[in-house]
Amino acid sequence: MFKNFFPNKILSLSNNLLNSLLVYLILVMFLGLIYSLYISPPDYIQGDSVRIMYVHVPSSFISLACFGIIGIASILNLVFKIKFIPLMSKSLAPVGCTFTLISIVTGSLWGKPTWGTWWAWDARLTSMVILLLFYFGYIFVWKFVSSFNKANKISSIIAIIGLLNLPVIKYSVDWWNTLHQPSSITLTSAPTIHYSMLIPLIIMLAGMIIYLLIIFLMKYKTETIKFKMNKIKNKK
Amino acid sequence: MNLDFLNLGGYGQFVWPAFIFTFVSCIVLYVKTRNELLKQEKIFSKEFNKKQSAKIEIAKHKEVLSASPIHQTY
């Protein structure tokens, strides 16, 4: 499976695959929207404001997962120096950054009716802003450092330092007193939310993962082409 | 039009902007990424065609040379 991400393989990636993923995305999102805005019930305390959860939670999950992958890939990159790993990490960053921004904005929109404030500098919210700054730093290094090797090294170091922030985000609600509620879904225990809310959440998460895959494949192909073109230019 | 659906129990002013912001951000990123890919594909295919035509020219030149009497051995 890993061989499919080799640069030569990704160059032969056809538009048919992207188009079929796009069809799946539209279908899943359509279903997700019907469930999250219409079928799922309002919460007995939060009322209909709970519907923000269906975009807030999947985006937070994806933003953390993307940075986790970038961080681990950066460690592998520094150790094994495999050329296509930085291209893959670089391709994940914009989508991860977008989902972090979505998570912060939708969280703020959810915070106003729930906590009575748009923003509070508590541990969970602040650590998410720090994650966004790490994403910005990572993307800006690739954008403004012209040498590939130099940008690769600096961005890898940023990603590895940023990796330390992920456990802080995850456990901030347990370590400190925060406005943010503890996790309702964990990998180790049964979810504490009702299935009528869990189903739309899973559908929206599936839709966003398909979206992530589409953006990643397009971006990875773009970066591979740019890399090959630079190689050709340097040969000349 | 069902206004209750838009109002969402008084929380519509928070729920709709959250969904709209999410979808607009995703659409903007999709369009930006797709345009960049199309642009790079165009440049790449141009460069690839240039290289291919150069290779064809060289091959043709070699063919002409090998067909000339000087290069033929009897």
Q: What are the pLDDT tens digits along chain A (236 aa)?
A: 556 666 666 777 777 888 899 999 999 999 999 999 999 888 888 888 999 999 999 999 999 999 999 999 999 999 988 888 999 999 999 999 999 999 999 999 999 998 888 988 888 899 999 999 999 999 999 999 988 899 999 999 999 999 999 999 888 877 777 767 766 666 666 667 788 889 999 999 999 999 999 999 999 999 999 988 887 777 76
Contact assessment for residue A71 and residue A160, using Cβ atoms and an 8 Å cutoff: yes
**Nearest in space to A91 (alpha carbons), one of A184, A206, A224, A201:** A224
Mutation for A interface: B2, B14, B30, B47, most A CBs within 10 A = B14
Residue in B with minimal Cα distance to A56: B18
Cα pseudo-dihedral A20, A24, A30, A31, rounded to 10: 160
Residue A4 identity: N
Distance CA B36, CA A91 (A): 12
- A 10 A CB-CB count for A217 gives 19
Q: Does A105 touch chain B (CB under 8 A)?
A: yes
Per-residue pLDDT at A2: 55
The reply to whether the predicted model has a pTM over 0.90 is no
- Give B56 to chain A, closest Cα distance, Å: 19
Distance from CA of B7 to the nearest CA of A (A): 9
Where is pLDDT greater, at B71 or A29? A29
Burial class (CB in 10 A: 0-12, 13-18, 19+), A215: buried
Ramachandran class of A116: left when φ > 0, alpha when ψ lies in -120 to 50, beta otherwise = left
Contact residues for A223 (Cβ-Cβ < 8 A; gap 6+): A87, A90, A91
pLDDT at B56: 78
Is the CB of residue A209 less than 8 Å from the CB of residue A62?
Answer: yes
pLDDT of B8 > 70? The answer is: yes
What is the reported pLDDT for A178?
72
Per-residue model confidence (pLDDT) at position A86: 93
**Tokens 């890919």 correspond to what residue?**
B37
> In a 3-state reduction of DSSP, which class is residue A47?
strand
Cα separations in angstroms, A121 against A97, A103, B34, B73? 20, 15, 36, 87
Q: In this predicted complex, what is the ipTM?
A: 0.89
Measured CA to CA, the distance from residue A100 to residue A63 in angstroms comes to 5
Confidence of residue B66 (pLDDT cuts 50, 70, 90): confident
Chain B residues touching residue A25 (CB < 8 angstroms): none
Residues 6+ positions from A73 with CB-CB distance below 8 Å: A85, A86, A88, A89, A159
Q: Does residue A33 contact residue B20 with C-beta atoms inside 8 Å?
A: no
Mutation pick from A36, A43, A55 vs chain B, by most beta carbons of B within 10 Å, is A55
Helix (H) or strand (E) holding B30: helix B12-67
B14 touches chain A (CB under 8 A): yes
**Rounded-to-integer distance, Cα A187 and Cα A107, Å:** 22
Exposure on the CB side of residue A185, measured as CA atoms within 13 A: 14
- pLDDT tens-digit map of B16-57: 999 999 999 999 999 999 999 999 999 888 877 777 777 777
Q: Which are the contacts of A215, defined by CB distance < 8 A and separation ≥ 6?
A: A94, A95, B29, B30, B33
- Using an 8 Å CB-CB cutoff, list chain A residues near B30: 211, 214-215
Closest CA to A87 of A231, A221, A230, A234: A221
Q: In this complex, do B37 and A221 lie within 8 Å of one another by their Cβ atoms?
A: yes
Rounded to whole angstroms, what are the CA distances from B42 to A16, A216, A222, B14, B50?
Answer: 18, 19, 11, 42, 12
Question: Does residue A56 sit in helix, strand or coil?
Answer: helix
The secondary element (H helix, E strand) that includes residue A145 is none
Q: Other C-beta atoms within 10 Å of B14: how many? A: 21
